[in-house]
Amino acid sequence: MIFKRKIYKELLHWKRTDEGRTAVLIQGARRVGKSTIAEEFAANEYETYILVDFAACSTEIRDLFNDVSDLNRIFMRLQFEYGVELKERKSAIIFDEVQLAPKVRQAIKYLVKDGIYDNVPLI
């Protein structure tokens, strides 16, 4: 429970101070609750969010990040595939098991630079 409160507090600080200028990386051992806390944070602190789990997503979703020249295309496709409307500065995108998708790790800097949605990659 202490871990949960501490990481949640740090995520709140990140959201309030960075205002979309950076992504927050949650890194740690397997099966300690990183995905759970990230999803709980997104559900509580944003109007909408999308959780993209690269251990379970389709090849089409993974391939979206091969070309980051059109970020709007990526955001539109994610919204369509997950049935969630992303709202500017009021939505988060969580990338779970991002170590399985090297192109996504590279794309995160462009997604952050765009600044429309907050990004939370998990390793």
Position 111 pLDDT exceeds 90: no
Task: Provide Rg for the chain, Cα atoms.
Answer: 14
User: Alpha-carbon distance 76 to 99, whole Å?
Assistant: 23
pLDDT at 2: 54
Across residues 31-50, what is the average pLDDT?
92
pLDDT confidence of residue 80: 96
The DSSP output letter for 56 is T
Q: Which of 2-11, 34-43, 109-118 has the highest mean pLDDT?
A: 34-43
pLDDT tens string 55-101: 999 999 999 999 988 989 999 999 999 999 999 889 999 999 998 99
> What is the structure's pLDDT at 21?
84
Q: Return the closest-CA partner of residue 49 out of 103, 106, 102, 120.
A: 120
pLDDT at residue number 123:
47
Measured distance CA(79)–CA(86) in Å, rounded: 7
pLDDT of residue 44: 95
CB 120 within 8 A of CB 38: yes
- Which residues are CB-contacts of 58 (< 8 A; sequence separation ≥ 6)? 81
